[in-house]
C-alpha cells in the first residue's frame, strides 16, 4: 500500500557517491523516490549517476562542498528548481573525521571538522525548511554516530559534532512539527565504507570492537539505509525526534 512506498516523493541526500550515502540513494529509489544527491568529486558523481540511470533510478546530482555556505545555497537552488519548490525528504549524511589526541587538534582541524559535520547540517536545515514545509509531510533524517553517544576513541571533535546533531534532531522535531516536518536521527556503529577503510585493516581495533558487539560483526551500508527509508515512509508518520542506533547492540552491552 502507499503507506509502504515513497512513490512520487522527492529526496535530497548529501554525500551519495560512496558508503552509507550511496546505499541511501539506492534504497530511497528502490521505494520509488526521485533523488538529488551531491559530492565534491565531479567524476565520481557522474559515474554514480550513469550507474543509477542504468538501473532505472531517477537520480540527479550536483557538485557541492557542504562545508561552504555559497555551495549550500547553490545546492538548494538546484533542488528547488529540480523539484519545483517542494521536497519531501532531506537526508543529512555527509560526515568526516580526523582522529587525533585532543591536545593535538589545531584550531583549523577543529573548525574544518565542525564545518563539515555540524555547520553543514544546521545551515542546510535552514535552507531546506521552506521546501520541506511546502511538502506538508516533510521528513529529515540525520546520520549521526554512536561516537556521539559513547566514548569510543574516535576523537573528541567528531564525537562532539555528532552529539550536537543528536540534540538538533530533537529540537527541530518540536519546533517544526507545526510545519508537518518530522526529524529523526540514525546512529550507526562501525560500518563497512571507505571512511573507515584504515580502521577495518587495524586488527586490534576491530577485534576490540567486535568483542563488544553482541552481533559480532560490523554493519553493511544497506543495514543503515533500510532504517533511513523506513523513517521516511508514510508508515513512520508518528515517529519524530528519535535518535535510533543501528549498532549490533554495542551501546546496550554492559559486562558479560
Ligand atoms: P564515506 O567517507 O564513505 O562517504 C562520504 C560521502 O560524502 C562521499 O560521497 C563523499 O564524497 C561525500 N562528502 C564528504 N565530504 C563532503 C563535503 N564536504 N561535501 C559534500 N560531500 C561530501 O562516509 P560514510 O558513508 O562512512 O559516512 C556517512 C555518514 O555516516 C557520516 O556522517 C559518518 O560520520 C557516519 N558514520 C559512519 C560510520 C562508519 O563506520 N562508516 C559510523 C558512524 C557514522 P566526496 O569526498 O567526493 O565529496
Cell numbers found for residue 143: 546520520
Asked if pLDDT for residue 39 goes beyond 90, the answer is: yes
180-184, 188-192, 206-210, 223-227: which has the minimum mean pLDDT? 206-210
Asked if 179 contacts 133 with a C-beta cutoff of 8 angstroms, the reply is: yes
Q: What is the spatial distance between Cα 63 and Cα 41, in angstroms, rounded to a whole number?
A: 7
Q: Does residue 161 sit in helix, strand or coil?
A: helix
Band (246; pLDDT cuts 50, 70, 90): very high
Atom of ligand 1 nearest to the CA of 21: 25
Q: Which of 245, 188, 199, 198 is nearest to 222 (CA)?
A: 188
1: pLDDT strictly greater than 80 = no
Mutate to test the pocket of ligand 1, among 157, 195, 251 (most ligand atoms within 8 A of CB): 195
HEC letters along 28-95: HHHCCCEEEEEECCHHHHHHHHHHHHHCCCCEEEEECCCCCHHHHHHHHHHHHHHCCCCCCEEEECCC
In which band, very low, low, confident or very high, does the pLDDT at 85 lie, cut at 50, 70 and 90?
Answer: very high
* Catalytic, out of 90, 158, 205, 238: 158
**pLDDT mean over 170-181:** 98
Active-site residue 158, yes or no? yes
Amino acid at each position: 500500500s502507499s503507506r509502504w512506498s515513497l512513490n512520487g516523493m522527492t529526496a535530497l541526500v548529501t554525500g551519495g557517491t560512496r558508503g552509507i550515502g550511496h546505499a541511501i540513494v539506492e534504497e530511497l529509489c528502490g521505494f520509488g523516490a526521485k533523488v538529488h544527491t551531491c559530492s565534491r568529486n565531479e567524476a565520481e558523481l557522474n559515474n554514480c549517476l550513469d550507474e543509477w540511470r542504468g538501473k532505472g533510478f531517477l537520480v540527479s546530482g550536483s557538485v557541492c562542498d557542504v562545508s561552504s555556505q555559497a555551495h549550500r545555497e547553490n545546492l538548494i537552488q538546484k533542488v528547488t528548481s529540480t523539484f519545483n519548490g517542494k521536497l519531501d525528504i532531506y537526508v543529512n549524511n555527509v560526515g568526516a573525521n580526523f582522529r587525533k589526541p585532543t591536545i593535538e587538534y589545531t584550531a583549523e582541524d577543529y573548525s574544518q571538522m565542525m564545518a563539515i559535520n555540524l555547520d553543514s547540517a544546521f545551515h542546510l536545515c535552514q535552507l531546506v525548511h521552506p521546501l520541506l514545509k511546502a511538502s506538508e509531510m516533510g521528513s529529515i533524517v540525520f546520520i549521526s554516530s554512536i561516537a556521539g553517544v559513547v566514548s569510543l576513541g574516535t576523537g573528541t571533535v567528531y564525537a562532539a559534532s555528532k552529539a550536537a546533531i543528536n540534540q538538533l534532531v530533537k529540537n527541530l522535531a518540536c519546533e517544526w512539527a507545526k510545519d508537518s516536518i518530522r526529524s529523526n536521527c540514525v546512529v550507526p556503529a562501525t560500518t563497512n565504507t571507505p571512511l573507515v577503510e584504515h580502521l577495518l585493516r587495524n586488527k586490534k581495533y576491530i577485534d576490540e570492537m567486535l568483542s563488544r558487539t553482541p552481533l559480532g560483526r560490523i554493519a553493511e551500508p544497506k543495514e543503515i539505509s533500510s532504517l533511513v527509508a523506513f523513517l521516511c515512509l508514510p508508515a513512520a508518520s508518528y515517529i519524530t525526534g528519535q535518535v535510533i542506533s543501528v549498532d549490533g547492540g554495542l551501546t546496550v552491552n554492559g559486562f558479560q
